[in-house]
Amino acid sequence: MVIGVTGGVGSGKSTVLNFLRDGYRAQIIEEDQVARELMEPGGACYQAVTEAFGPEILAEDGQINRKELAALVFSDEAKRKQLNSLTHPLVEREVRRRIAAYDGLSVVETALPREAGLRCFCDTVWYVHVSDEIRIARLMQDRGYSREKCLQVMASQLSEEEFRSLSDVVIENGGAREETHQQIRDSYNIFLKQNRF
């Protein structure tokens, strides 16, 4: 069984992932982490990304400077799409390989469900939702973002309506942690019952 978990930055996807890993022994595949690995020197995406965006994105040690790259693509929609077109096919291939190699529940996390093609390899897609104000507060506290930076990053992602339209289940993550955990248990059990996994 493969569950896709999506949601905007600051929605608390990690709460859901940690619960599934600890409670269900799920393999957690975070697409951002896979992309980071593939953008290491010698990785499948490294050469294409450095050729497309130039030496200004490289640190002195030859690594891609993720902050420089993020600043470049978050401020330019065309460059963001270019980066996604270079990385997503290779990331998807690696995600599929990891799913096939694991005998048990796999959970794939992404903030970009459409681009990631979650529907192609997930049995169900869960959207982790929380209000924008809670997201902003979390990002300001946890990542040290300014309010403006939060709004900029959030604007570059899908809207709540788009996330909902791409998902089978909505996990409301604005309350107590136990409430979120109960929604996860219920959603998992309902899916198993309906699909006989």
User: Among 6, 8, 5, which Cα is nearest to 132's?
Assistant: 8
- The 3 state secondary structure assigned to 86-152 is HHHHHHHHHHHHHHHHCCCCEEEEECCHHHHCHHHHCCEEEEEECCHHHHHHHHHHHCCCCHHHHHH
Question: How far are the Cα atoms of 6, 18, 19, 182 from residue 23, in angstroms, in the given order?
Answer: 19, 8, 6, 12
From the annotation, which residues make up the binding site?
10-15
From the annotation, which residues make up the binding site for ATP?
10-15
